[in-house]
Amino acid sequence: MLHEMRLHDEPFKLIQAGTKTIELRLYDEKRQQIQVGDIIEFTSRATGEVQKTKVIAMHIYSSFADLYRDYDKVSLGYGKDEEAKPEDMELYYSKEEQEKYGVVGIEIELL
């Protein structure tokens, strides 16, 4: 199955470079449809450029804090010198949404 997701330019470039291998999302109804082996087509909001990836694992958690503890920050989209803070995800998803749906780290590989 093919899924389409839009990304800000910075995480899009990190996925293209192969360093960001886990896409962080709310585990809402849309993301619950994603299965291992599916294709995700990421589109840069800035340029419209598209990158296809294959889902190799779904990591489901109750919170971003729990997810962040299990994965290295570079695979989550942070630089080696940056501090990885689960609170950063509150820019995109409220605490209430996170509590309602849980969160997912979608592990991908480039196609």
DSSP string over 19-63 = ---EEEEE--HHHHT--TT-EEEEEETTT--EEEEEEEEEEEES-
Q: Structural domain of residue 78, as residue ranges?
A: 2-110
pLDDT classification of 62: cutoffs 50, 70, 90: very high
Whichever domain contains 65, its CATH number is 2.30.130.30
For 17, which DSSP code?
Answer: H
pLDDT score at 106: 98
Each residue's pLDDT tens digit, 83-95: 999 999 999 999 9
Cα 40 from chain centroid (whole Å): 11
How many domains, the chain? 1
Cα distance between residue 12 and residue 49, in whole Å: 9
pLDDT classification of 29: cutoffs 50, 70, 90: very high
